[in-house]
Structure 1
Amino acid sequence: MGKHKAEMHMITWEAPGLSRPERRSARREAQKEAARLRKQWNRDSGQNNVKGLARRTFAAGGEARARNLRASGLISRPEVREASTFTLAGAFPWVSQSGLGTVRGFIGMVTEGGGMWCVDPWECYNRGLITGMSCVLIGTVGTGKSTTTKAWVKRMVQAGRRAVIMSDPKAEWVIVAKGLAPDGVDPEITIGVPGKVINPLDPGKRPATNQSGDALDDHEWVRMVRSRRASVMKTIVQVLSKQRMSGDENLALTQAIAAAAAAKGEDLASMTPQTPIAQAAVISPTIPDVIHHLYNPSEEDAEVTQGAGRSVANQLRQLVDGDLAGLFDGPSTVAMNEDLPMIVFNTRPLGELSVEARKIASHCVSSWAESVFTNRDSGQRIAVYEEGWENMDDEPALERMVRQWKLARDYGLFNILILHKLKDLFRAGDEGSRARELAMSLLADTDIRVVHRQKSDQLAATGEMLRLTASEQEEISRAPKGQALWKIGEQEGRMVKTIRSKLEGELFDTDHAMAAA
């Protein structure tokens, strides 16, 4: 009896490829077979009843009969039908939540449904899921944001991208970079150690094309280098003086930089996109050279600037005689190997310096690194800004970051800004100030937002700034370590658990000091 009952309830899929008459004939045969099974079922039930066994028991509604909406109905004899998983998903919904359709940058599993979660910014951009190539990743201490970032970046690098860690104040990324680097090659550039000098006035790498895709001519290249040098020097002076420069001071500084380059015999026009970076840096002007020409301008320059260069030179002397002496005031003794999978600027030795000194160091490192990889020839690269909150009260740093955020697509860059909480953006200045507008512009230009657990007093601000639903706010308020809400463009947010291997767990461990204690 059980065998016949099972046969009667098997689901039938019509075989593809049959003509309509053939399908009708097959259906009639199936109906005949169903009738035969029904008779067999009734015969077996009657025999059991004769033996004194109960035929069946029924629910309170009584026996299932035809057309009383209680019978399960009979389905024709099983046949094979092929269908795609997309079609079958309509018949069996809510079994597993889908990912984005990208295959690189594996993160982990979606907590609701267990779907695999992969986020590759370049794939997302090509699919139209995002329009901006930047990400903000937030989470309080101990929520797993460091592991998530390292796992994500490492896997994108293993998929063919390159990465630059713009600042590593805890030296956590160094071991990851060394694990990805070829044997015998050091991917670490330590900042703040005697003998390790970076000259922020190095010209960097000459691009082959401009932003329009046309060949970059000599005039554009010279203008690009001069603009970058003037920008970083102006920023340094404003950080040291804590005020904006006057027009005369700006002019005096620009003329001193040009005079220092001419005195060195630098010929930018002779550089080509194939010129080695280290070779181009040999005759670059240095900050002491600029200070010398600020103190000793030509008669014509002195008359035009009315001696404004002396006050600028006095400010810059702090780089030669102060906390940063020997770090940025000479020819570069380190080189940036742009072919490495990952390069890390280890800024841990700067931790004991003053806030102003750290800001200046950040500007010098950023300008030097960006002169190499912010061009269309460097390929697809990831720039990670650890401890991004330190830059939020630095208006020149915000200006540089906003500019890079907006040009990321032209350069093939993907920027990751790491914060503890979104309210760190409020450090930029009062509401309505230019600094606050720049900070909000950074957030507006990020199409990928990753939110780890937030404290209760931060939930309202986080939800408002990211336009989170009530359920999403509740999810991040109780998310365990290693889980985060991922918001990709206008897509629905997904709670994702980061998965790491045993080896990755050892590479990403940031609690070794506490464990040893």
Structure 2
Amino acid sequence: MRTLTPLTLSEQELHDKPVSEGTVSMPTILPALSARQLALLDVLETTDATVDIAPKGLTRRLKKARKTTLKQMETDHKILMKALHEKKHVTTSNAELERDKNILHSLGVGSGFMTRAKSTIPWHSTSISSSSVLNPILTHGSSRLSGPLLGVDAINGVPFHYDAWAPYKAGMVTSVNGMIAGMMGSGKSMCMKTLALREISYGRHVIIEGDPKTEWARIAHTVGGQVISAGNGAYLNPLDTGVKPDAYTDDEWKQEVITLRVNALRSLASAIRPDTPLSMAEQATIDSLTRVVSTMYEQPTITHIVSFLDSDQAQDMIVKGLNKTALADTILNLILIFNRMVDGALKGAFEKTSTVSIDPSKPLIVFDTGSIDDTDEVKKAMYTAAMSAAIDRLCYTRDGIFRLVIAEEGWSLLSNPELVVGWDKRMRLSGEFGVSNWLLIHELTDLDAFANKGTALRQMIEGILTKSETMILYRQSSNSREALSHLIPDITAEELDVIDKLTQGVGLWRVGSTLRQAVHPIVSQSGYDLFNTSAGRAG
């Protein structure tokens, strides 16, 4: 919201002596206004328009408040000058703060549904060097974005609307992808679940890429969605590309099918053998065998892949750059990898023809990973890779449905180099696919555990995070400041100072380079009961 801010220096003084150091007091001069009056002021283009459009009573109140504030500032200035002359410290009047509090109270802050939204963020106080943004957590008289109601501004209680595609429409961003980060229990999952359901009510569809705690599954059942589970007699073939979408020609779809299957096989191989990246020979052989097997079977399976690799036909494949001996060694390596899904400990979920059918028309599709043993990292990675392949197939259909794809366990996805490549590609094609990709991660310092600094994988992961032009930062530990400064070059000192002090449920929204807002999501009691996963933490 635009506020009229008086300056204590004349324009001539400003031209003659540019202010380069010190502090400036910039109190709000608006009187206590109703939400309707605030909204009216917020849409007026100029101060002259206020005279023409605003009710006369409101105009008089503004003028009176302006005079009162200027008079108080002059009094404070005289007291301060006298104190400086006498070399004494005097605390100036808190009248401005009290006026601000009255405005907030009239909007509901500090009482009722906003009680839990009280913010520890300091009020308008800043140094000249950083006063290009008076306060990093800006407030507005009305929501700057279109979309469903998500929550309220945690400082002034004004409703906050958001749709994943709204910032692009408003010219704030060039990407519709997002990221949410926060410590356990900070409120990020509650925020993402609120966003997902509000987006569904707005006509969007949502896909959850991995649900290790089955917390999204019960939401899917509530809204008429679908839960996809593999194992225990249910199979999901990661190489099944389904029927050709109407948006493709036969030749275009044939090429897309090869691409999808190659990506799936590479991701699975990287998940099953995490310590050794795929060699150039292995990648080239996967490319060739995918083309061959795709001509043999309409919907090949991992079992078909292993059977082919173990046949004489595989030895006759032509892979440029590999002689017979090198090809034979490479084929053996691939058999050892993929046979674990057919005859080894990883069998029983993804090696056969699909018995699970995915309905793309469902508003919420959840890929369940809750049945996996948390200690079996390889199996978890394999499930993530296989289900990511199914999600890619949904995104590639270009069926006109706008979807949010939410990776509930972002770090698990980013630990697989091939999935990182796939996620990066999905982000770059988000406009073509109609997909908004969202990563949920914990502490940003955890990045060091997944990729060493300076490596190509680390650079790609950091690129994915920085391409997420909507960032929602929940409470982070003070140890994350360095990582935040590196990943977000324009983050201010004030933002870094408050990031470890954000109260539970309040997230700092950074949309493009212009919107910085502390937001508290609003949910009904039944929604809170459905979303809440922290009930057992309090003992």
Shorter-chain TM band: 0.7 to 0.9
Query: 1:262 maps to what in 2?
Result: 295
Bigger shift: 447-456 or 350-359?
350-359
1:324 maps to 2:294: no
1:187 maps to 2:226: yes
Query: 1:345 maps to what in 2?
Result: 367
1:348 partner SS: coil
Out of 332, 352, 357, the residue aligned to residue 379 of structure 2 is 357
What's the CA shift for 1:115? 1.6
Give the Cα separation in 2 of the matches to 1:374 and 1:223: 12
Query: 2:438 maps to what in 1?
Result: 416
CA contact (8 A) 2:398 2:434 kept: yes
Query: 2:144 maps to what in 1?
Result: 101
What's the CA shift for 1:232? 1.5
Alignment of 1:70-219 (within 5 A): 83=53, 97-181=140-224, 187-191=226-230, 193-209=231-247, 216-219=248-251
1:376 maps to 2:409: no
What's the CA shift for 1:495? 1.1
Give the Cα separation in 2 of the matches to 1:139 and 1:180: 27
CA contact (8 A) 2:207 2:364 kept: yes
CA contact (8 A) 1:143 1:453 kept: yes
Q: Deviation per CA, 1:356-404: give whole Å up to 9, x if none.
A: 2211211111111211223422411010001211223321111111111
Q: Evaluate the alpha carbon distance shift between residue 155 and residue 473 of structure 1 in structure 2; reply closer, same or farther with a 3 A threshold.
A: same
What's the CA shift for 1:503? 1.1
Structure possessing the higher radius of gyration over alpha carbons: 1
Give the Cα separation in 1 of the matches to 2:62 and 2:442: 41
Q: Deviation per CA, 1:429-477: give whole Å up to 9, x if none.
A: 2222110011111012111010111122223432443232222223322
1:121 partner SS: coil
Query: Match of 1:486, as an amino acid?
Result: W
Bigger shift: 459-468 or 299-308?
299-308
TM-score by length of 2: 0.70
CA contact (8 A) 1:169 1:351 kept: no
Out of 273, 277, 288, the residue aligned to residue 303 of structure 2 is 288
1:345 partner SS: strand
Give the Cα separation in 2 of the matches to 1:198 and 1:511: 32
CA contact (8 A) 2:210 2:367 kept: yes
Q: Evaluate the alpha carbon distance shift between residue 482 and residue 208 of structure 1 in structure 2; reply closer, same or farther with a 3 A threshold.
A: same
Out of 245, 249, 257, the residue aligned to residue 282 of structure 2 is 249
Query: 2:472 maps to what in 1?
Result: 450
Q: Deviation per CA, 1:391-427: give whole Å up to 9, x if none.
A: 2332111111111111111111111100112223333
Q: Deviation per CA, 1:335-361: give whole Å up to 9, x if none.
A: 111111101111011134521221121
Q: Evaluate the alpha carbon distance shift between residue 353 and residue 368 of structure 1 in structure 2; reply closer, same or farther with a 3 A threshold.
A: farther
Query: Match of 1:224, as an amino acid?
Result: E
Give the Cα separation in 2 of the matches to 1:512 and 1:327: 33
Query: Match of 1:83, as an amino acid?
Result: I
What's the CA shift for 1:312? 1.2
What's the CA shift for 1:514? 4.5
1:400 partner SS: helix
Listed as ranges, the gaps of 5+ residues in structure 1 are 1-79, 210-215, 267-283
CA contact (8 A) 1:135 1:447 kept: yes
Query: Match of 2:383, as an amino acid?
Result: A
CA contact (8 A) 2:473 2:499 kept: yes
CA contact (8 A) 1:395 1:428 kept: no
Equivalent pairs: percent with the same residue?
A: 23
Query: 1:230 maps to what in 2?
Result: 262
Query: 2:529 maps to what in 1?
Result: 506
Give the Cα separation in 2 of the matches to 1:497 and 1:247: 49
Q: Evaluate the alpha carbon distance shift between residue 99 and residue 472 of structure 1 in structure 2; reply closer, same or farther with a 3 A threshold.
A: farther
CA contact (8 A) 1:108 1:118 kept: yes
Give the Cα separation in 2 of the matches to 1:342 and 1:306: 44
Q: Deviation per CA, 1:250-274: give whole Å up to 9, x if none.
A: 444334333433333x2xxxxxxxx
Query: 2:24 maps to what in 1?
Result: none
Give the Cα separation in 2 of the matches to 1:387 and 1:246: 27
Q: Evaluate the alpha carbon distance shift between residue 497 and residue 294 of structure 1 in structure 2; reply closer, same or farther with a 3 A threshold.
A: same
Give the Cα separation in 2 of the matches to 1:434 and 1:350: 30
1:382 partner SS: strand
Query: 1:56 maps to what in 2?
Result: none
What's the CA shift for 1:120? 1.0
Out of 476, 490, 514, the residue aligned to residue 491 of structure 1 is 514
Q: Evaluate the alpha carbon distance shift between residue 394 and residue 246 of structure 1 in structure 2; reply closer, same or farther with a 3 A threshold.
A: closer
1:253 partner SS: helix
Give the Cα separation in 1 of the matches to 2:183 and 2:221: 27
Query: 1:434 maps to what in 2?
Result: 456
TM-score by length of 1: 0.73
Q: Evaluate the alpha carbon distance shift between residue 187 and residue 83 of structure 1 in structure 2; reply closer, same or farther with a 3 A threshold.
A: same
Q: Deviation per CA, 1:24-47: give whole Å up to 9, x if none.
A: xxxxxxxxxxxxxxxxxxxxxxxx
2:520 partner SS: strand
Give the Cα separation in 2 of the matches to 1:405 and 1:197: 28
1:176 partner SS: helix
Give the Cα separation in 2 of the matches to 1:377 and 1:107: 27
Q: Evaluate the alpha carbon distance shift between residue 243 and residue 101 of structure 1 in structure 2; reply closer, same or farther with a 3 A threshold.
A: same
CA RMSD of aligned residues (A): 2.6
What's the CA shift for 1:172? 0.7
1:418 partner SS: strand
Give the Cα separation in 1 of the matches to 2:145 and 2:362: 25
Give the Cα separation in 1 of the matches to 2:519 and 2:357: 39
Query: 1:300 maps to what in 2?
Result: 316
Bigger shift: 89-98 or 143-152?
89-98
Give the Cα separation in 1 of the matches to 2:290 and 2:278: 16
CA contact (8 A) 1:486 1:494 kept: yes
